[in-house]
Amino acid sequence: MATKITIQHPATGLTKTGAYGFSWTYFFFGWFVPLFRGELGVAALHLLFSLFTFGIWQLIMSFLYNKQYMTRMLEKGYVLKDSSDNMAKARLALGIAEQADRLPG
């Protein structure tokens, strides 16, 4: 089961809800998930891999997708913006350093 965490882009102030853990959404909807999140290139690759592996890719990615999505968001500049307890759990699950969730200023 995925655990939700709030993330925020410090420059724009845009706040999103991210997740880590097993993705039931990806399990049922597969490559549509990155498509609806605006990641067209990722969606195209996932569709291609799902077709070539006859759906096995979708099963495997259900375990990995949330972590990969959160990693991409953090690389784009988003930071964790939640309670300190939730952020500590997310840092542990995502394998990120503590400084990565601090807002500047």
Q: Residue-wise pLDDT tens for the chain (105 aa)? A: 899 999 999 999 999 999 999 999 999 999 999 999 999 999 999 999 999 999 999 999 999 999 999 999 999 999 999 999 999 999 999 998 775 445 555
Confidence (pTM): 0.84
| Token pair belonging to 85 | 């307890």
- Find the Cα–Cα–Cα–Cα dihedral 45, 57, 89, 78, rounded to 10°: 10
40-78 in b/e form (b: 16+ CB < 10 A) is eebbeebbebbeeeeeebbeebbeebbbebbeebbeeeb
